[in-house]
Amino acid sequence: MKWTIERIQPGDREKIIQLVINNWGSEVMVVHDECFHLAEQPGFLAKGGQQILGLLTYRIDQNTDAELLSLDSFQENVGIGSALVKRFLRIEGPKRFYLTTTNDNVRALQFYQKRGFTLCTLRRNAVQHARQLKPEIPLVAENGIPIEHELELEWFKEDDG
């Protein structure tokens, strides 16, 4: 199936809210003790016609580094997630790109490390704090791993010189 990648537009917000609620249990993402309404963040969509096949949301922090807030591919293993990340890096061009995932998310750890991201931070028991802001975070993932810690991964743009 062919798809296109485009920036999120205001008219996409309602669809994004529904997708985020279906995938994450809420329209709010809690990361490092901060709450983010994903449908209000900038990002990119992978679309096949009018159907959303993938979603990437991010923020630019005070250091002008980019933080990936969410990456979803609704058709696995066809390159949608990779294409969204590549498009983001090409268009936004941050020197440092980082993200947070949880210790149970072994698929994400594999995906990002294969694409040049490196583990840089462990926030022990951070999910316990996140549950105070977002109680719907489960105690145990579908793969049977207790959800307890946040792991930060980062990617740096190679210097041209």
DSSP string for 70-135? EEEESSTTSSHHHHHHHHHHHHH--SEEEEEEETT-HHHHHHHHHTT-EEEEEETTHHHHHHHH-T
Q: How far apart are CA 86 and CA 93, in angstroms?
A: 10
Whole-number average pLDDT of the chain: 92
Q: Report the pLDDT value the prediction gives residue 160, as an integer from 0 to 100.
A: 53
Q: What are phi and psi of 55, to 5 degrees?
A: -145, 135
pTM for this predicted structure? 0.89
List pLDDT tens digits, range 11-44.
999 999 999 999 888 889 999 989 999 999 999 9
pLDDT band at 58 (very low <50, low <70, confident <90, very high): very high
List pLDDT tens digits, range 72-111.
998 888 999 999 999 998 888 889 999 999 999 999 999 9
Q: Which domains does the chain have, with CATH numbers?
A: 4-156 (3.40.630.30)
